[in-house]
């Protein structure tokens, strides 16, 4: 738990300038926590202080900071390109596509096969996840069907899909 008490503190910059940190929307706080550092070194100390306040306020509210963020484009791509895999691998009928993508992306980061040509792409369970690693936590930029397959992953529903059997040594090196 953070030692910063956010009660009575006001935002001193940007869109919410003059607003109590306790009244700032969660979306803005999570954006600030995940924002890349400023280009100018002289602003770094102030940036880190603001980021620490935002993180403390999220903790105070009991809001979890995501391990991974999913872009709107990734959600759209998933609903168009990997919907069948979602239906095959979701935990139950109540796991929506956003929750499923978050879970699968976290698993992909741990267990997936990194693409040897594109280091920001990871293959997992028949899906190619493209990540942006710039901020505090990774962002899934898009997803697509992967042509890389592994023996532990479910087979695609269609026999028409061209697949490559994955040898992790080949893909990762």
- Tens digits of per-residue pLDDT, 97-115? 988 998 999 999 989 999 9
Q: Is the pTM of this model over 0.75?
A: no
**Interval 24-48: pLDDT, tens:** 988 888 889 888 888 999 999 999 9
User: Torsion-angle region of residue 66: left (phi > 0), alpha (psi -120 to 50) or beta?
Assistant: beta
pLDDT on residue 77 = 95
Contact by Cβ (8 Å): 31, 71 = no
For residue 135, CA distances in Å to 36, 82, 107, 122, 139 come to 5, 26, 19, 18, 8
pLDDT (tens digit per residue) in 139-155: 899 999 998 877 777 66
Query: Which CATH number describes the domain made up of 69-172?
Result: 3.30.2310
What residue spans in the chain does CATH classification 3.30.2310 cover? 69-172
């Amino acid at each position: 738990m953070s030692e910063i008490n956010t009660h009575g503190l006001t935002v001193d910059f940007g869109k919410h300038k003059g607003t109590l940190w306790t009244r700032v929307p969660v979306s803005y706080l999570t954006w600030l926590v995940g924002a890349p550092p400023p280009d100018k070194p002289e602003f770094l100390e102030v940036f880190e202080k603001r980021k620490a306040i935002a993180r403390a306020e999220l903790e105070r509210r009991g809001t979890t900071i995501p391990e991974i963020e999913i872009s709107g484009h990734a959600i759209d791509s998933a609903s168009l390109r990997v919907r069948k895999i979602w239906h095959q691998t979701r935990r139950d009928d109540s796991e929506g596509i956003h929750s499923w993508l978050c879970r699968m992306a976290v698993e992909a980061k741990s267990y997936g096969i990194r693409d040897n040509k594109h280091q920001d792409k990871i293959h997992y369970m028949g899906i190619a996840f493209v990540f942006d690693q710039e901020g505090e936590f990774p962002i899934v930029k898009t997803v697509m069907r992967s042509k890389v397959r592994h023996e532990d992953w479910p087979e695609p529903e269609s026999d028409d899909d061209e697949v490559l059997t994955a040898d992790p040594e080949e893909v990762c090196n």
